[in-house]
Amino acid sequence: MSKRHTTLGEFLIGRPEEFEYDNAELGQLINAIRLAGKVVSHEIRKAGLVDITGTIGSTNVQGEEQKKLDVFANEAFINTLTNRDIVCGIVSEENEEMITISGANNRNRNKYVVVMDPLDGSSNIDVNITVGTIFGIYRRISPVGTPVTVEDFLQPGNLQVAAGYIAYGTSTMMVYTTGNGVHGFTLNPAIGTYYLSHPNITIPDMGNIYSVNQGGYVHFPEGVKKYIKYCQAEEDDRPYTGRYVGSMVADIHRTLLLGGIYIYPQSTGKPEGKLRLLYECNPFAFLLEQAGGRATNGAQRIMDIKPTDIHQRMPFFGGCVAMVEKAESFLKKNS
């Protein structure tokens, strides 16, 4: 007889210490996110069968061409989080301004804000490569009962109360942390239930994979170029293997499970970096650190940086502690 697996709901109920605030509130937040994730997962698996792939002919606030599934995923998460009546505001990659939730039933009493990239890596949809949703959750700092403010979102990552991602690949997985380790749950699509499949994820102490878009090599800082050459050198336990999917969720998921380093540096064309601090860098920095890894911008811990804009960009170096520290040493020598 096969062992019965723990469901996500049972896991939350069985760990009252999981959340420093009301565990029922955590349940509401995670339930809203997992429900929207199931809706998006179902739609992604229909891609190619219905008219849901391709672009819609417009761009988002980042100047990136919007895919049909970008818009669908954004609406699914906004609607689900709004209907569950648990958050007072949302920041999404797809929306220029923050979204205020203060309807007649809310009266600004909700205590949490959510930041998200509803469909990371969506340019890969049309070629059937893993994409995902990234989310971070903060407790508001403005008084309950008043309208949400932008300052509720511009908090450093070390004040996140939860963060995670949903990977839509060969299986749909939800991975999250509340500061008590990192846990992964795999969706059984036949019954629509997430089961605990990866408890207490711990990143290996060392890895042999480096992940960076080498197409931008000529535009990288000298320290990054020299670190890449170090990874490719035939000595000691090198060369490392190069792996780059182009979907941050897929690349970080692999890094968490197998070890290695993920790099998205600044470049001559993007001196501030490309990734967004609030809803890409901070959630993954929280996850990596909780799994025993490290995440910096090349010189400073990501989660100590106070955001100045909801769409602020940032370089990112994350993965095994030793590998990130080695990359930082090259940056420091060649600054």
The CATH number that applies at residue 117 is 3.30.540.10
Looking at the fold, whether 72 and 168 belong to one and the same domain comes out as yes
Q: Report the pLDDT averaged over residues 96-122.
A: 87
87 is a domain residue = yes
Structural domain including 215 reads 209-333
User: In total, how many domains does the chain have?
Assistant: 2
List binding-site positions for Mg(2+): 93, 117, 119-120, 280
Contact 180, 225 (CB under 8 A): no
Which of residues 206 and 55 earns the better pLDDT score?
Answer: 206
List binding-site positions for substrate: 120-123, 213, 244, 274
297 is a domain residue = yes
Looking at the fold, whether 276 and 133 belong to one and the same domain comes out as no
According to DSSP, residue 2 is labeled P
What pLDDT score was predicted for residue 64?
54
Is the pLDDT at 179 greater than 80? The verdict is yes
How crowded is residue 170: how many other Cβ atoms within 10 Å of its Cβ?
A: 7
Looking at the fold, whether 294 and 186 belong to one and the same domain comes out as no
Mean pLDDT of the chain: 91
Looking at the fold, whether 176 and 295 belong to one and the same domain comes out as no
115 is a domain residue = yes
Rounded Cα gap, residues 153 and 155, in angstroms: 6
What pLDDT score was predicted for residue 49?
52
2 is a domain residue = no
Rounded Cα gap, residues 134 and 131, in angstroms: 10
What pLDDT score was predicted for residue 48?
57
List binding-site positions: 93, 117, 119-123, 213, 244, 274, 280
According to DSSP, residue 50 is labeled B
Looking at the fold, whether 284 and 304 belong to one and the same domain comes out as yes
1 is a domain residue = no
204 is a domain residue = no
Q: Report the pLDDT averaged over residues 240-248.
A: 96
52 is a domain residue = yes
Rounded Cα gap, residues 208 and 184, in angstroms: 23
Looking at the fold, whether 194 and 221 belong to one and the same domain comes out as no
The values of phi and psi at residue 218, to 5°, are -65, -20
What pLDDT score was predicted for residue 207?
95
Looking at the fold, whether 181 and 78 belong to one and the same domain comes out as yes
- Tell the residue number behind the tokens 């039933």, with chain if given: 105
Contact 82, 270 (CB under 8 A): no
Domain boundary (145, 169, 198) is at 198
